[in-house]
Amino acid sequence: MQQQQPDPDRSTRIVVVLIGVAMVGFIAVTYPTLIPALTVALAAFMALAVVLKL
C-alpha cells in the first residue's frame, strides 16, 4: 500500500499562516497599543486574500 503524500502547496500555505498568526500574536502581546493597527492590517489582508483567491 502506498501512502498518499500531502499536497505541498497546501502544506506551505498552512505553515505560512501559522507563522503569521504567531508573529501577530507576539506583536499583540509585546505592544498592546498596536492591536487596532493589527486589526486594520488583518482586515486588509483578508480582503486581498478573498480578491486574489489565495
In a domain, 1, yes or no: no
Taking residues 32-53, report their average pLDDT.
85
- H or E segment and range at residue 54: none
Number of domains in the chain: 1
Per the CB < 8 A criterion, the answer to whether 42 and 24 are in contact is: yes
Mean pLDDT of the chain: 82
Q: What is the pLDDT of residue 2?
A: 63
Domain that holds residue 45: 17-52
Q: What digits encode the pLDDT tens for the residues 2-21?
A: 677 667 677 888 888 888 88
DSSP letter string, 2-36: PPPPPPHHHHHHHHHHHHHHHHHHHHHHH-GGGHH
Q: For the whole model, what pTM was predicted? A: 0.60
Determine the Cα–Cα distance for residues 47 and 8; give it in Å rounded to an integer. 25
Determine the Cα–Cα distance for residues 13 and 44; give it in Å rounded to an integer. 18
In a domain, 2, yes or no: no
